[in-house]
Structures are given as structure tokens and as C-alpha cells.
Structure 1
């Protein structure tokens, strides 16, 4: 069963988490982790809500 839809509203702050299948890691190593953090950082810099 899917979880209920999240209520969203302007100006809200959300805590976002992620994990792999069976609660495993989502990064395979340091290079993977650095790439993931780079993509997340870029998304934050480009986010119209935070600028």
C-alpha cells in the first residue's frame, strides 16, 4: 500500500531522506557519494524557493 500524499504549502521546510533497497546504502563508494552530494548541491543552488 502506498503512503498518503504529503501536504505541501508555500514556504514549508521538508526533511528528505533516501535509502536503497532493503535499507541498503544509496552510494557505492566515496566517488558515488561525492557525485550525489554535488547533484543535491546544484539542485539547492538552482531552487527558486531558496534564492
Structure 2
């Protein structure tokens, strides 16, 4: 059974977090982080 879809509100502000397993780093270097931000900004 899957999780129900979230309700999205036009113009709403959403809090997004990214975290690795056991609080490990998820970005290997500054370029990794910059690439992540680039993708995030395009959504």
C-alpha cells in the first residue's frame, strides 16, 4: 500500500530537508551542492 498523495497548495511555502543515513554528509564537495541547488531551483 502506498502513501497517499500530498495536497499541494498554489503559492504555498514548503520546508524541504535533505539528510544522509545516520546523519552522513550527502554532498561530496561544493560542486555536488551547487548541482543540487540548480536542480532544486528548476522545480
- Aligned residue pairs, count: 40
- Equivalents in 2 of 1:13, 1:6: separation in Å? 17
1:24 matched residue in structure 2: 24
Structure 2 alignment gaps of length 5 or more: none
- Considering Cα pairs closer than 8 Å and 6+ residues apart, tell me whether 1 or 2 has the greater RCO: 1
Q: How does the TM-score come out when normalised to structure 2? A: 0.64
Whose helix proportion is higher, 1 or 2?
Answer: 1
In structure 1, runs of 5+ residues without a counterpart are: 44-51
